[in-house]
Structure 1
Amino acid sequence: MIIKERGITEEVFTLYSGMMVGDIVNRIGDIKCDATLNWVESLNVDVDETVIVGAYLTGMKLANRLKEISKVTVIDIHPILKSLLDKNIAFTDDLNRISSADLVIDTTGLGGLSPETVMERVSSDVNIFLVEDPTSEGSDSNIMAKSNIMQRLDLANSNYKGIIKTSGLNTKTSGTMTLTIEVLRKSLESILKGKGVLYGVAGMNFYEGVLFKEKDCDKFLRLMQEPALITSSLQPLSSDDTLEMNLLKIKSWVDNVSV
């Protein structure tokens, strides 16, 4: 749905995308969740208790989806993130909870869960251990060198191990917010090339600063409800179609890791 109104003069339209920033975040989260859940279900093993390490966008989305099939606990050092989770999901900063889970998903990315913590807590009792790869096809050598997910996986004693991978937009990381901003950027760039388009504004903000620096969850949620794109144009156009085109480029899957 496109919301339009007249601009400064009757010759110009101001066009608001029907898609909000939060819609893009949710779509990318669903892409990752679908790949993850399909892989877990393919193992055909019982999962009564899930622990997700990292409560930001990917972890939050996985927690809200996995609560339908198991008891879920989210571990994170930032208490503000509890506000983004369903009330039925347990939240703690206690890493000892890892040891009691059937399924552990590590979404902490660069500089997150340490290999030492994995070695100490991810025993064979943790049947499935999944790590989200923070790198993507556009990652530079410094980012690649910073990732230690293979160390984490090597030190885990789980029966099943996997890497959640996401790509498609040539981003430097696979983070949900990184991908969201790139969808906005590429879509705006494409829209601006259209005939009769005067200018456009994408719903870009330093969202992580709002949560982790300002610690304002309400402001973060308000910003998520702002239009993804606002365009000034001589004629109506569908920015949602352009946003959709870029979202469809994003692919996520799980690579099996040999035990």
Structure 2
Amino acid sequence: MIIKERGITEEVFTLYSGIQVGDIVNRIGSVKCEAAFNWVESLDVDVDETVIVGAYITGMKLAERFKKFSKVTVIDINPNLRHLLVDNVEFTDDLTRIKNADLVIDTTGLGGLSPESVRGMVGLDVKIFIAEDPTSDGSDNSIIEKSNIPERLDLASSMYKGVLKTAGLNTKTSGTMTLTMEVLRKSLDDILKTNGVLYGVAGMKFYEGVLFKEKDYDKFLRLMEEPALITSSLQPVSSDDKLEANLEKIKSKVEDVSI
């Protein structure tokens, strides 16, 4: 739904997208979750305990999805991120909890879990190990070289191993916030090309700074409720259509790399 009001003069409309920034974050997270869930379900393996390493955005959404059929523990070194999690999800900074899981999902990406940690803790008792690939279809050579996801997967002893890949917008990483910013940027560019549009503003703020520097969870939630796009135009136009079109381009899959 587009909310509109008169602008500075009666000749101009100010239009607020019905889609909020948080809606984009949740949609991208859901795409990743469904890919991970569908692959795990296809393995026909009993999963009583799930451990997700990394609470930020993707980890948060995965915890919400997987708690519907297993006990879920989220591991993260940032205690303030516990506020992102839904009820009935345990939060800890104890990495050794990996050893007790049937399913481990590593969302830490660049600079996250070390290969040595994986080798020491992801043994045969961890039936399924999924690592999220931080690179995407627009990654440059420096980012690709920095990623040690293949090494993490090689050192895991799990029977089933998969890599969660997300692409579609030619972004440099597959991070949910990276993709969110690109949806906003591309959609703003698209709406500016529409006849009669004077200018537009996208909800592009440094959200990670709010969580990790300011450590202000309430402010983060308030920012998530802001309109994704605000447009000044001579006639009503739908920025939601542009947002939806770019969201539809994002695709996730789990690539099976089991030996």
1:159 alignment partner in structure 2? 159
What aligned pairs does 1:115-194 form with structure 2 within 5 A after superposition? 115-194=115-194
What TM-score results when the alignment is normalised by the length of structure 2?
1.00
Matched to 1:141, the amino acid is: N
1:49 alignment partner in structure 2? 49
Q: Deviations over 1:117-168 (max 9, x none)?
A: 0000000000000000000010000000000001100100000000000000
1:208 alignment partner in structure 2? 208
1:3 alignment partner in structure 2? 3
Which runs of no fewer than 5 residues in structure 1 stay unpaired?
none
Q: CA shift at 1:24, angstroms?
A: 0.3
Indicate conservation of the 8 Å contact 2:127/2:160, yes or no: yes
CA RMSD in angstroms comes to 0.4
3-state SS of paired residue (2:50): strand
Q: Deviations over 1:25-82 (max 9, x none)?
A: 0000000001100000000010000000000000000001100010000000001110
Distance 2:56 2:84 in 1: 8
Indicate conservation of the 8 Å contact 2:17/2:240, yes or no: yes
Indicate conservation of the 8 Å contact 2:159/2:258, yes or no: no
What TM-score results when the alignment is normalised by the length of structure 1?
1.00
Distance 2:26 2:132 in 1: 17
Distance 1:151 1:66 in 2: 26
Which runs of no fewer than 5 residues in structure 2 stay unpaired?
none
Distance 2:128 2:194 in 1: 48
Distance 1:258 1:45 in 2: 14
3-state SS of paired residue (1:249): coil
Q: CA shift at 1:86, angstroms?
A: 1.2
Aligned length: 259
Q: CA shift at 1:87, angstroms?
A: 2.4
Runs of 4+, deviation exceeding 3 Å: none
1:198 alignment partner in structure 2? 198
3-state SS of paired residue (1:186): helix
Matched to 1:104, the amino acid is: V
3-state SS of paired residue (2:237): coil
1:104 alignment partner in structure 2? 104
Distance 1:236 1:79 in 2: 44
Q: CA shift at 1:258, angstroms?
A: 2.9
Distance 1:26 1:122 in 2: 29
Distance 1:128 1:222 in 2: 36
Distance 1:126 1:56 in 2: 22
2:257 alignment partner in structure 1? 257
Matched to 1:171, the amino acid is: T
Q: CA shift at 1:219, angstroms?
A: 0.4
2:44 is the counterpart of 1:29: no
Q: Among the aligned pairs, what percent are the same residue? A: 76
Distance 1:64 1:156 in 2: 25
